[in-house]
Amino acid sequence: MATAAGMGIGAACLVAPQVRPGRRLRLQRVRRRCVAELSRDGGSAQRPLAPAPLVKQPVLPTFLVPTSTPPAPTQSPAPAPTPPPLPDSGVGEIEPDLEGLTEDSIDKTIFVASEQESEIMDVKEQAQAKVTRSVVFVTGEASPYAKSGGLGDVCGSLPIALALRGHRVMVVMPRYMNGALNKNFANAFYTEKHIKIPCFGGEHEVTFFHEYRDSVDWVFVDHPSYHRPGNLYGDNFGAFGDNQFRYTLLCYAACEAPLILELGGYIYGQKCMFVVNDWHASLVPVLLAAKYRPYGVYRDARSVLVIHNLAHQGVEPASTYPDLGLPPEWYGALEWVFPEWARRHALDKGEAVNFLKGAVVTADRIVTVSQGYSWEVTTAEGGQGLNELLSSRKSVLNGIVNGIDINDWNPSTDKFLPYHYSVDDLSGKAKCKAELQKELGLPIRPDVPLIGFIGRLDYQKGIDLIKLAIPDLMRDNIQFVMLGSGDPGFEGWMRSTESGYRDKFRGWVGFSVPVSHRITAGCDILLMPSRFEPCGLNQLYAMQYGTVPVVHGTGGLRDTVENFNPFAEKGEQGTGWAFSPLTIEKMLWALRMAISTYREHKSSWEGLMKRGMSSDFTWDHAASQYEQIFEWAFMDQPYVM
């Protein structure tokens, strides 16, 4: 428990500047750079202005009690020495000069005082939540620490957006040490906290590292199973055989972190909102129900399952259930039986345990990453075997479209673009197109529509349809550029197609972040013929950059791309074309409609660009929708007591 002195050091103060009577003025925030001991992580970042109330340490279940003598950390950076705290009286000595400031300018000004100087800065007002909560994200990846796909983008951005709205947010993920990623965890400090987890036939010790960044507590679970070459989930030989063990440890550690980690001098406590992402974190709601609430712990906590891709469910043989450390009576929550056609041989009973199914059964609310995908997962075609179970929980199933990070994806500030532009001045986009054509070795022709594709080269992304359609498209006066890697067969096809159509086609095998930004800005049309797409981000990036998307109307693509309608009652509407069903004929029809509009109806095309650029796909918008989900979750008792 934090001492009174510790509480005084970590507190920030509110001071109202003196102004003339009768003048309405908001309370201004005067903040000292307080030098506080941020728990035992050794970090020196500032904490939020209003620390959470001090929570009495709960009585932990006997199966998870922190050991008394922590082991020596390995390869952890030494924390910086802590200077003596500033006296509290220093705040009262700040007298900001208000001369020359209007009432409106004062309302948007924060006074910031450090130990060396005071400065006045203008800031954009940030929307605040009506009710602030303690939110704990559990995930297998989060950008910029470790990322393999869209899951990493979401868990790297959404927590920050929620923190900026006033919530106290923690993200719990593995501390991957594979050589290439080691530098990403360089600022994380050893907390001197560790626990022993009873599972897989023994007790396995994990430790916690912590970094405070962008108003979020990033907590990294450390264990030797996360220290190996390869990517996050496997290597060149396939998925790691002990992934079930690795993410069981993560889930246990995530349940303990809010109870034992004093971050900024305060634990998160028991009244938490757990946001569990995909199968890697899906054991968390099961543990809350099976191993905590029976002991009176986490009775006020709630859990939300976020499904990013239902195709990955964490399925392992039923014989592994005893390894999970769960009571025998909870087997039914994870029980899974493969249909006969999916079994290996005639004697195979198809019995398995399914992590994601366990979360679907026990979570308080379920969210998919788009409204369209929330419907698709309840159908036989898109439910991946869980459609009936998800249909039974329709009352708590919602969809929220992911946001985009406008700090990284903004055509007016993008560091990867040769020219900048905005919705009010589109002149830079034509220059970006010319530079892209020059970079790729294509003829610089502003009159020719440039079509782009960015993504994995696999069956899900519809590359086979593009391959079949290219001969027809190359007869038209267009240019086509593709960026991606994946199936070696499709990679070889891209190379051979480029050699056959030197003036019209370019295929960039591999992936480059700068090139992806320049293609997004330089193309006129972005093609996304995905067979299924839970959310999709490239179409959001394209619209942000004034590039018109042509997509297959599925999942998040259907939700975010509005079909162009030149005859709407209130004038032209729409941001692109969403075709369905997924056939070559429909795809070519949509592309030719876009090409015709680009060539023959310049004013309509400019309207398409501007409507896309004006759409609100920010993370702040998505965060406000998640707050509504949190509110609904806390309205009811836990789904499983």
Please choose, from the candidates 79, 68, 96, the residue with its C-alpha nearest in 3D space to the C-alpha of residue 36: 79
Per-residue confidence band for 126, with pLDDT thresholds at 50, 70 and 90: low
Instruction: Give kind and range of the element (H or E) at residue 169.
Output: strand 168-174
Residue 354's identity, in one-letter code, is N
Percent of the chain with pLDDT over 90: 71
Q: b/e map of 440-451 (b: 16 or more CB within 10 Å)? A: bebeeeeebbbb
Per-residue confidence band for 180, with pLDDT thresholds at 50, 70 and 90: confident
Which two three-digit tokens encode residue 214? Answer: 């962008």
pLDDT surpasses 60 at 122: no
Q: CA-CA distance, 491 to 453, in Å (whole number)?
A: 13
At 394 the pLDDT is: 95
At 639 the pLDDT is: 84
Binding site membership for ADP-alpha-D-glucose: which residues?
147
Burial classification of residue 487, based on how many CB atoms lie within 10 Å of its CB (0-12 exposed, 13-18 middle, 19 or more buried): middle
At 62 the pLDDT is: 42
Per-residue confidence band for 30, with pLDDT thresholds at 50, 70 and 90: very low
Kindly write down the DSSP assignment for every residue of 294-347, as one continuous string.
Answer: GGT-STT-EEEEEES-TT---EEEGGGGGGGT--GGGHHHHEEE--GGGSSSTT
- Answer yes or no: are the C-beta atoms of 262 and 254 closer than 8 Å: no
- Answer yes or no: are the C-beta atoms of 193 and 208 closer than 8 Å: yes
User: Is the previous residue joined to 285 through a cis bond, with omega within 30 degrees of 0?
Assistant: no
Q: b/e map of 532-569 (b: 16 or more CB within 10 Å)? A: bbbbbbbbbbbbbbbbbbbbbbbbbbbbbbbebeeeee
Which two three-digit tokens encode residue 148? Answer: 């393999």
pLDDT surpasses 70 at 246: yes
Q: CA-CA distance, 489 to 501, in Å (whole number)?
A: 18
Structure pTM? 0.77
Please choose, from the candidates 190, 171, 400, the residue with its C-alpha nearest in 3D space to the C-alpha of residue 281: 171
| SS3 of 537-557 | CHHHHHHHCCCEEEEECCHHH
Per-residue confidence band for 82, with pLDDT thresholds at 50, 70 and 90: very low
Binding site membership: which residues?
147
The predicted model gives 137-143 an average pLDDT of 96
Domains observed in the chain: 132-402+624-633 (3.40.50.2000), 424-615 (3.40.50.2000)
pLDDT surpasses 60 at 192: yes
CA dihedral 534, 535, 539, 545 (to 10 degrees): -160
Average pLDDT of the chain is 83
pLDDT in tens, 592-604: 999 999 999 999 9
